[in-house]
Structure 1
Amino acid sequence: MTSRPHLPQAPQPAADADASTNGGTQPDRRRFLRVAAAAGSAYLFSSLGHPGAWAAGSDAPEKKEVKIGFIPLTDCASVVMASVLGLDEKYGVKIVPSKEANWATIRDKLVNGENDFSHILYGQLVGLQVGIGGPQTNVASVMTLNRNGQGISLSKKIAEAGATDLVSLVALMKQQPREYTFAQTFPTGTHAMWLYYWLGSAGVNPMKDVKVITVPPPQMVANARVGNMDGFSVGEPWNQRGILDGVSVHAASSQDVWKDHPEKVLGTTAAFADANPNTCRAVAAAIIEAGRWIDASDANKEKMAETIAARSYVNTDKSAIIDRILGKYDNGLGKKWNDPDHMKFYDDGQVNYPYLSDASWFLTQHKRWGLLDAHPDYEGVAKAVNRIELYKQAATAAGAPVPGSDLRSSTLMDGKVWDGSDPKAYADSFDVKA
């Protein structure tokens, strides 16, 4: 069955009662710092290598208070912690996290200016620049927020039939032919691309051989529970939540598809970035420091997990968050392992750089799967979206290193090497495509 996703709108499946998208009161910063100190993990501004506020004279942010839209996922953590820890105040801004229901809402509130920035899927933001997944909008990525740590899960029902990984899934699909349904979170987004690449590597065409639906991350487990899909691709903690609830099993991690892949970015509109460069630098610097704090110790990860588990943010149990942020994985079937390539927010400064090759990779996949009818100007789009100079200035303010190149090289799960040098040839090189 051919199932090209409908791009403009994300459908609204039944809501998960355990995943409210209502707002709520943010934890008080002073109370958080008192608790952290009492727990032996006190946070000191000086420990992050910046002596004081970076907000004077011509460097002063143009806008002092900014709203950042986020989806209830573990990887919203650096945005949330920049606010909770008061790192934003160091740079003369106040970050107000705004909890949103789904990626379509994230898009709409960013495009219409209701939110100043968004924790947004990399592929989704790049897609807007070329007019797919929403109205064509000139957008900007100030930094990459995180890498790795997403997942592909299979329903407990088909796991019991023998499908627990890609090889056994393909075998089951051949032995028991029918319409298999898989969910992702937004048609141009990262979770769709990880799912499609994973299936495509085994000769399964996601545009022709299976049915693909769109489900918002917080509603994924509820939809899996009532049997709406055979598998799904989503960010944490929803894969682990599915395991804890006995709904699904772990089939693959996104780092199995592409080790050290980019995931969410700090997105805004080009108009906002052009009018408020100091604000962009200040917000990015605060989030860089927050990511560094999270990655610095297991104690900090524990405190982060406790914080973002609250109803105001992810609204789940800390137990659904903490293991995978520590690299402790299990597949829901008795297998346990430690994954050194778990979700990272800073990783000694390697995570946050807005590589041009990262942006153009998503465009190659959009072309591969027929979301783009023709090859775009890969380099031109990447340069327009990724505000590299703004990032470098923010990194300097936060004391973070920057790489020597705007391109990087990676080998993906099928052995193909992506280095950004010839995106057109790369996009055309796949045997399985739309």
Structure 2
Amino acid sequence: MSKTHFTLSRRQFLAGSAALGAGLILPGIRQQVWAAGSDAPELTTVKVGFIPLTDCAPVVMAAIKGFDKKYGISIQPSKEASWAAVRDKLLSGELDAAHVLYGLIYGLQLGVAGPQRNMASLMTLNNNGQGISLSNQLKAAGVTNVESLKKAIDAKPAGSMTFAHTFPTSTHAMWLYYWLASAGVNPFTDVRTVVVPPPQMVMNMKIGNMVGCCVGEPWNQRAISDNIGFTAATSQSVWPDHPEKILGTRQEWVEKHPNTARALTAAVLDAARWIDASDANKRETVQVIAQRPWINTKPEIIEGRMLGKYEDGLGKTWQDAHAMRFFHDGEVSYPWDSDGMWFLTQFKRWGLIKTAPDYLAIARQINRVDVYKAAATAVGGVSVPASSLRKSTLMDGKVWDGTNPEAYADSFAIKQ
């Protein structure tokens, strides 16, 4: 059997499995589905890694609220210490899947975030909800935004200011680099950057290991509450409704467990829809994920920004129009190929990859739209877009739509 034939058959099988779960029979696949005998998940327990961040919520709530049982599996969330640990456990097979950084999965596919492995993104877990925090020492020196930060950086020897992000190919590295570069700061020559696990960000800022960081919530709000730093920018101010964490795994795992992949995606998708359905559900989610097994912080540190109620530590408060979202009628959850391609353009921009990749082909290989569509059918009532490309405008006015990725990657004045 040729590779092409195998791929088509597997994808037909996934679609057929979801159709059966929804009480439907799709033309052209009935014989294969019945030949397989069952669309039941191959695994009954699925171990899913997570980092203690607000955006782990869909994975946690899928297990806590029983959405996993609805699709024939038991999700076993596994709290991890760092993104490097998540990477290593995904690659070793200790984790079946994970709440994971978009850029980590793409970095592994290209061999720039660890050993090259073929990876898979089953769905996007959230949009928005990260932040760039600066220390109160900078605030005391009159630094309140990226423009005044640029002046402070220029007044010191190159590389004397240190900033932290969470992983070399992380979303947080990309937001930080983009934000700094928007004001003319080269993040590779003008400042020093280091990797710090999210739960350790606030303490490292407190003891002076860095003057700024980009990290997920609730750690930016925690910096304000602990009187250590302030929010200089939200990630959604860099890119409104940007992709953030994904439900990631190895391609090999999906191939070996196609029904389990569909069931896992359906359970987490169903949970994401439930969270976004009301503020009451979000508040319930906060009360759960604040507990020791999950994030281990006070609920009030999480709740405000979960509901879009922001303060920046400089006296400003606002209701953010692009706060953290988990579903938004499926627009959040769908694994847009253009989202993955954007990270590839930034890897190229910053010299993490030296030659232009086949942007769309890589995105289509990683982003398992076939699994997502089958899961969406199983869940029911989930909108699926006609195209895998979407249009976005970032903070500098640049428009990204995935149509000419190499020209986009080369269009920046500051790059490596």
- Supply the distance in 2 between the matched residues of 1:175 and 1:129 (Cα, whole angstroms): 40
After TM superposition, give the deviation of residue 177 of structure 1 in Å. 5.0
Shift of 1:171: 2.4
- Residue in 2 aligned with 1:35? none
Q: CA deviation at 1:347?
A: 1.1
For residues 305 and 190 of structure 2, the distance between their equivalents in structure 1, rounded to whole angstroms, comes to 31
Opposite residue 237 of structure 1, the aligned amino acid is P
Amino acid at match of 1:395: A
The SS at the match of 1:344 is: coil
Output the CA distance in 1 between the equivalents of 2:155 and 2:83.
36
Q: What displacement does 1:350 show?
A: 1.0
Distance 1:262 1:408 in 2: 11
| Cα separation, 2, equivalents of 1:360 and 1:250 | 28
- C-alpha separation in 1, matches of 2:92 and 2:106: 17
In the alignment, the residues of structure 2 paired with residue 99 and residue 198 of structure 1 have an alpha-carbon distance, to the nearest angstrom, of 30
Alpha-carbon displacement from aligned partner over 1:247-287 (angstroms, at most 9, x marks no partner): 11010000001111100110010100011111111111111
Amino acid at match of 1:402: V
- Aligned with residue 202 of structure 2, among 193, 196, 221: 221
Q: CA deviation at 1:185?
A: 0.2
Question: What SS class does the counterpart of residue 350 from structure 1 fall into?
Answer: coil
Matched, 1:339 2:337: no
Q: How far apart, in 1, do the equivalents of 2:155 and 2:255 lie?
A: 56
CA distance in 1, matches of 2:246, 2:64: 19
- 1:174 is aligned, of 139, 143, 154, to 154
Separation in structure 2 between the aligned mates of residue 238 and residue 270 of structure 1, nearest angstrom: 32
What SS does the corresponding residue of 1:127 show, helix, strand or coil? Answer: helix
Q: Corresponding residue for 2:397?
A: 415
Looking at structure 1, the residues matched to 116 and 154 of structure 2 have their Cα atoms a distance apart, in angstroms, of: 40
CA distance in 2: counterparts of 1:174 and 1:79, whole angstroms: 43
Residue 346 of structure 1 deviates from its aligned partner by 0.4
- Report Cα offsets for 1:322-374 as digits up to 9, x if no partner: 00000000011211111021000001221011111111110110111111111
Q: What is the CA–CA distance in structure 1 between the aligned matches of 2:217 and 2:290, rounded to whole Å?
A: 12
Taking the aligned partners of 2:311 and 2:103, their CA distance within structure 1 comes to 28
Q: What is the aligned partner in structure 2 of residue 431 from structure 1?
A: 413
Task: Give the equivalent residue in structure 2 for 1:187.
Answer: 168
In 1: Cα distance, 2:102 partner to 2:373 partner: 19
- Give RMSD over aligned pairs: 1.4
TM-aligned CA deviation for residue 375 of structure 1: 1.2
Equivalence for 1:25 = none
Distance 1:417 1:367 in 2: 17
How many equivalent residue pairs? 382
Shift of 1:175: 4.0
1:64 aligns with 2:44: yes
Q: Distance in 1 between matches of 2:278 and 2:76?
A: 25
- The aligned runs of 1:228-377 (5 Å cut-off) are 228-377=209-358
**Whole-angstrom CA distance in 2 between matches of 1:217 and 1:313:** 13
Give me the whole-angstrom Cα distance separating, in 2, the residues matched to 1:320 and 1:305. Answer: 9
1:164, CA displacement in angstroms? 1.3
CA distance in 1, matches of 2:235, 2:73: 34
Q: Any idea what the Cα deviations from partners look like across 1:283-309, whole Å, max 9, x if unmatched?
A: 111111111111111111111011001
Q: Structure 1 residue 172: deviation in Å?
A: 2.3
Once the two structures are TM-superposed, the CA of residue 404 in structure 1 deviates from its matched residue by 1.1
Q: State the shift of 1:58 in Å.
A: 2.2
Match of 1:126 in 2: 106
The one-letter amino acid of 1:160's match is A
Measured in 2, the distance between the counterparts of 1:374 and 1:416 equals 22
CA–CA distance in 2 between the matches of 1:293 and 1:206? 39
Q: CA deviation at 1:117?
A: 0.2
Structure 1 residue corresponding to 2:83, chosen from 103, 106, 112: 103
Q: Which amino acid aligns with 2:321?
A: P
Name the aligned partner's letter for residue 86 of structure 2: I
Secondary structure, counterpart of 1:188 in structure 2:
coil
Letter in 1 for 2:392: S
Identical-pair percentage:
59
Please report how far the alpha carbon of residue 167 of structure 1 lies from its aligned counterpart in structure 2 after TM superposition. 1.5
SS of 1:169's partner is helix
What residue identity is the alignment partner of 2:253?
F
Runs of at least 5 residues in structure 1 that lack an aligned partner in the other structure: 1-49
- 1:155 Cα deviation from its structure 2 partner: 0.4
Hey, which of these two has a bigger chunk of helix by percent?
A: 2
| SS of the residue 2:38 aligns to | helix
2:343 aligned with 1:390, yes or no? no
Distance 2:143 2:197 in 1: 24
Moved more, 92-101 or 274-283: 274-283
Aligned equivalents of 1:135, 1:242: Cα separation in 2:
34
1:406: how far off? 0.6
SS at match of 1:115: coil
Secondary structure (helix, strand or coil) at the match of 1:60 reads coil
Counterpart of 1:317, as a letter, is: K
* Residue 75 in structure 1 maps to residue 55 in structure 2: yes
SS of 1:255's partner is helix
Amino acid at match of 2:414: V
- Once the two structures are TM-superposed, the CA of residue 168 in structure 1 deviates from its matched residue by 1.7
List per-residue Cα deviations over 1:377-402 (Å, max 9, x = no partner).
11111111011111011011112110
